[in-house]
A = this chain, B = another copy of it.
Amino acid sequence: MNEFVEQFKSLGDATRMKIIRLLCEARKDLCVCEIMDALEVSHCNISRHLKILKTAGIVEERKEGRWVHFSIANPESTFHKNLLLAIGNLPAELFTAEIERLKLRLSLREDGKCVDGLKSEKWMAALKLIRAENINRYDKRRMQDRR
């Protein structure tokens, strides 16, 4: 019983919900630094959130040297499945920025692997590009909203 309560609790946080959604959207393992960059949350908090999710059985990890790859855990119960469905079926608009950043971040991978780690200048540069783009979009949307 408490395991189920724990699963609800583990998802009752916006950052952790976003992490799960990103893992669902990516359909592949993600490492801490990729999630960190996509969500723009400090690495230690991502690490902690992932620990909570792992303890609750929502995600699992695979170590490869110093790298740790996280993925959605195979559901052991219909309960777990329903929770994943709940998050997976939320409107994509709620996660637009995060998903966009994740895609960009994943595009930096080489041979399907994260090579950039923390404080990547490549990432900062890529981020500047989409930020400029988003500001343009934002301005256009504001102009339209005023009509």
Residues of A that sit less than 8 Å from B by CB:
1-2, 4-6, 8-9, 11-14, 17, 78-79, 82-83, 85-87, 89-90, 94
Across the interface, name the chain B residue whose C-beta is closest to A10. Answer: B12
Checking B5, B12, B79, B83 against A5 with a beta-carbon cut-off of 8 angstroms, the contacting residue is: B12
Name the B residues within 8 Å of A13 (CB-CB).
5
CA distance A139 to B12 in the complex (A): 40
Q: How distant is A139 from chain B, measured CB to nearest CB, in Å?
A: 23
* A-B pairs with beta carbons under 8 Å apart, 27 shown: A1-B14, A1-B17, A1-B94, A2-B14, A4-B17, A4-B90, A4-B94, A5-B13, A5-B17, A6-B12, A8-B8, A8-B9, A8-B11, A8-B12, A8-B17, A9-B9, A11-B12, A12-B12, A78-B85, A79-B86, A79-B87, A82-B82, A82-B86, A82-B89, A83-B83, A83-B86, A86-B86
Name the B residues within 8 Å of A1 (CB-CB).
14, 17, 94
Checking B5, B87, B94 against A14 with a beta-carbon cut-off of 8 angstroms, the contacting residue is: B5
Most chain B beta carbons < 10 A, residue from A14, A82, A90, A94: A82
Name the B residues within 8 Å of A85 (CB-CB).
78, 82
Across the interface, name the chain B residue whose C-beta is closest to A86. Answer: B82
CA distance A144 to B90 in the complex (A): 48
